[in-house]
Amino acid sequence: MADSGTSPELKPKTWGTFWDIFGEMLVGFMNVPIGARVLDVGSGGGSVLYPLAKRVGPKGHIIGVEICDHCAKNTASEIERCGIKNAESIYLDARQTDFSDAFFDCITAGFIGWDSYFDFQRKEYKRPDSLMKEITRLLKPGGQFGMSTWLLQEDLDWMYQFLTSQSFESNKNYHIENELGWRKILTYWDYTEIQVLTEAAKYEYNSLDFWWKEMIDYDWIVHDEDKAIIRSVKDLAYERIKPRIKEGKIVFTRKALFVIGKKKKPQ
């Protein structure tokens, strides 16, 4: 791997371990050339962006775009703090950019979620895909697009089942996409050399409090629930999760689907 000039003490802070595991996997699965200019759609905490910056080296450049303002700012300040010279993070909707056609050698999109455009059960589009349209415009012919999506988030499933077993209203807030749907999307947009990878990884929450904070952050509990009810749900959840605790850690499996393809070159 090429060195982007980041010293080991200045490791950028990301959202956490499983994001980093799967971000590394996406970049490792793709064939991103050294020196490439890459767009990272929805860069979030930078778990795809930082491995990309390492991969392309000092002659390459990564632009991370984010519609979450504070996510874009946090990543930008980590880039600055760590002295990473070949990456930037900007607040921008990837569906509408001013970059010129074919500006990027490669484009990544980690865990964005395509179910608002595509029905993965029926395997057909339900509305125009403005995101893939822009990605395809920005990617040079022959350039590679790579994405990831969740197939399993065991921790969220556990929480969902726990809450519904207690008759608490909760949203199952992730949607399962599938390989066939993604093959259809990429074929529709004229991508070739489509490759698919499925990988699982175990993720450890180091403490009950950290696990609970993550679960609350996922918006499981309807916002107008009263604080006392949330406290009692928490006490019960702490009790129920106990059998899963091993040496102080709670271990869950996450499984992701990675799909890559090349934008067809004109004949």
Residues interacting with ligand SAM, by CB under 6 A?
19, 23, 41-45, 47-48, 65-68, 71, 93-95, 110-112, 131
Shortest approach of ligand SAM to residue 239 CB, angstroms?
Answer: 30
- Using Cβ positions, the residue closest to ligand SAM within the complex turns out to be 42
Shortest approach of ligand SAM to residue 262 CB, angstroms?
Answer: 21
Q: Which amino acid is at 220?
A: W
Q: How far apart are CA 115 and CA 133, in angstroms?
A: 15
Nearer to ligand SAM, 90 or 208 (CB): 90
CA triplet 216, 218, 220: central angle to 5 degrees?
Answer: 70
- Tell me the two tokens of residue 50: 């930082």
Nearer to ligand SAM, 110 or 233 (CB): 110
- Tell me the two tokens of residue 249: 């850690």
Instruction: Please give the C-alpha separations between residue 261 and each of 125, 183, 237, in angstroms, as whole numbers.
Output: 19, 9, 42
Phi-psi region of 5 (alpha: psi -120 to 50; beta: other; left: phi over 0): left
Nearer to ligand SAM, 173 or 187 (CB): 173
Q: How many residues does the chain have?
A: 267
**By three-state DSSP, how is residue 19 classified?**
helix
Shortest approach of ligand SAM to residue 24 CB, angstroms?
Answer: 10
Shortest approach of ligand SAM to residue 199 CB, angstroms?
Answer: 13
- Tell me the two tokens of residue 171: 């949203």
Q: How far apart are CA 143 and CA 227, in angstroms?
A: 51
Residue bearing tokens 């003490």: 9
Nearer to ligand SAM, 52 or 233 (CB): 52
